[in-house]
Amino acid sequence: MSTADPVTPVLTKRWLSPNSWRLSVYEQLEGYTAVKKALSKPPEQIVALVKDAGLRGRGGAGFPAGVKWSFMPQNEEKRHYLVINADEGEPGTCKDIPLMMADPHSLIEGCVIAAYAMRSHHCFIYVRGEVLHCIRRLHAAVREAYDAGYLGKDILGSGFDLDITVHAGAGAYICGEETALLDSLEGRRGQPRLKPPFPAAAGLYAAPTTVNNVETIATVPFIVNGGSDWFREMGTEKSPGPKIFSISGHVERPGQYEAPLGTTLRELLELAGGMKDGVPLKFWTPGGSSTPMFTAEHLDVPLDFEGAAEAGSMLGTTAVMVFNETVSVPWAVMKWTQFYEHESCGKCTPCREGTYWLAQVLERMVEGKGTEEDIDTLLDVCDNILGRSFCALGDGAVSPITSGIQYFRDEFLALCETNKSKQSESALVGAQA
């Protein structure tokens, strides 16, 4: 945990308290006050409040949460489900797991409020299977909440019932995609579903379902308590609110830094104590490996949904991975691509076959056996994957490659050059023999 003062400690404000994950500590720190307020209001009002606050999804796509909630049918003919996407698997992203470790009750409180707003009586938290410690803590927190009457039948005497099920994934990156997550939750192989129908019409068990990110839901109690105007004080016009920036890599103090949306990397680096050992910055990702990389030129890009997009990338999960000059871009890109090849679900051709091909070409290049044509092939294959795949995994897989070649083409070329000189040498040797 950082020692520098975060700019806006909202979500993270309780994290440093001892035993912050305990219900008693949470309650001392104004925990479960928002739920009392929320349950006294009609559900529509909560949806309107979240809409007014302009809360945008924290999972990467940035879809306005209030709008998403309003897609849920108003009647209750079918069961409604709220599903929390806690399958945090994006390389570099590490905000949800710390949040659930340090402050699980804020997520549970958010779930109660969101479920109430959407008339859902069952909420599933789909947690990445590998983080057993987090699953245990979440289970404990849910148990505590049940015991205290924040979950179960007739919550706080409001007449509202809610059950929360914590479900562990089985280790597939694709299950972070909302429809694949639903498939996995139903007990099938996790593969994205055809949309439409969208989850709000037919999601989990073909019932209306909303899938939200952990951070999004954990923000909701603060909005209920603070109001939409307070929320809009932070961040920018279109991307209001605070955001947890997970800074990793070659910085002095990597960690979670909560700052308003629109903060720049320059500011974040200051918070994180600057580049490690003063080695200059080479490239960085604004939101995990699926977002096109930035370079030192982009130090002053405001990190909100619009700013990142304008500069040619995406805000993603605000997993800022910082790399200094010692890192080879083709090597880093190869590692990422290997990850995507391993995690491609196999449903659609471009992603399944494309990542397999890209990984092989990059491996060859890093070994020094690439050619200049390979760079063109890489770009063309990327073009054939981007926007052609079934879900966003394919798009994410090509962004490190295209952005890497865009900013560091020379480095790729240099690898090919060494290969060329090796080849011509051997040709000469052959001629002499």
Partner 1 sequence: MTMAPEETETEVPEGHVKLIVDGEEVIAPKGELLIRTAERLGTVIPRFCDHPLLDPAGACRQCLVEVEMGGRPMPKPQASCTMTVADGMVVKTQRTSPVADKAQQGVMELLLINHPLDCPVCDKGGECPLQNQAMAHGRASSRFVDTKRTFPKPLPISSQVLLDRERCVLCQRCTRFSAQIAGDPFIELLERGVHQQVGTAETAAVFSGTPAPEPSDMASKTSSGAPFQSYFSGNTIQICPVGALTSAAYRFRSRPFDLVSSPSVCEHCSSGCAERTDFRRGKVMRRLAGDDPDVNEEWICDKGRFAFRYAAASDRIRKPLVRDAKTGELVETSWTEALRVAADALSKARDARGAAVLTGGRLTVEDAYAYSKFARIALRTNDIDFRARAHSAEELDFLAGVVGTTPDHVSFAAIERAPTVLCVAIEPEDEAPIVFLRLRKAALKHSTKVVHVGQWTTSSVRKTNGELLACEPGGEAAALDGIAQHAKDLDAGLAEAGAVILLGERAAEVVGLFSAVQRLAERTGAKVAWIPRRAGERGALEAGAAPTLLPGGAAVSDADARAALESAWRLDAGVLPSSPGRDTTGILWAAATGDLDALVVGGIDPDDLPDPALARKALAAAGFVLSMEMRPSAVTEHADVVLPIATVDEKSGRFLNWEGRPRPFTVTLEGTNALPDCRVLDTLAVEMDADLFTQTPQASFADFERAVSAGRSVVRETNGSGTAEHSRPHAGESNGNGKLKLATWRQLIDEGSLQAGEPHLAGTARTAVVRLSAATARDHGIEPGEHATVSTERGELTLPAEIADLPDGVVWVPARSPVSIRTALGVGHGGAVSLSGGTA
Q: Can you state the angle between helices 214-233 and 104-118, rounded to 10 degrees? A: 80
Min CB(386)–partner 1 separation in Å: 8
Nearer to partner 1, 85 or 344 (CB): 344
**47 versus 333: smaller Cβ distance to partner 1:** 333
What is the rounded CA–CA span in Å between residue 255 and residue 271?
A: 10
Coil, strand or helix: which one is 256? Answer: strand
Determine, following the binding rule CB under 8 A, whether residue 377 of this chain makes contact with partner 1.
yes
Asked if residue 380 binds partner 1 (CB under 8 A), the reply is yes
Residue 344 beta carbon to partner 1: minimum distance, rounded to whole angstroms: 4
Q: Does 360 bind partner 1 (CB under 8 A)?
A: yes
Q: Supply the minimum distance, in Å, between the C-beta of residue 54 and partner 1.
A: 24
Residue closer to partner 1 (CB basis): 171 or 280: 171
DSSP state of 193: P
> Which residues share a beta bridge with 163?
122
* Residue number, 277 or 373, with CB nearest to partner 1: 373
Q: Of 87, 103, 215, 343, which lies in the binding site for partner 1, with binding defined by CB under 8 A? A: 343
| Closer residue to partner 1 (CB): 26 or 339 | 339
Residue 84's φ and ψ, nearest 5 degrees, are: -100, 120
Q: What is the DSSP string of 376-398?
A: HHHHHHHHHHTTTSSSHHHHHHH
Q: Sign of the C-alpha dihedral, residues 265, 393, 387, 375?
A: positive
41 versus 388: smaller Cβ distance to partner 1:
388
Regarding 356 and contact with partner 1 (CB under 8 A), the answer is yes
Read off the DSSP letter of residue 48.
H
Output the smallest distance, CB 384 to partner 1, in A: 3
| C-alpha span between 266 and 278 (Å, rounded) | 14
Q: How far apart are CA 184 and CA 68, in angstroms?
A: 22
Phi/psi-derived region of residue 83, left when phi > 0, alpha when psi is between -120 and 50, beta in every other case? beta
> 70-129: which residues touch partner 1 (CB under 8 A)?
none
Q: Is 384 in the site for partner 1 (CB under 8 A)?
A: yes
Residues that bind partner 1 (CB under 8 A): 172, 174, 189, 191, 194, 341-350, 352-357, 360-361, 364, 377, 380-381, 383-385, 387-390
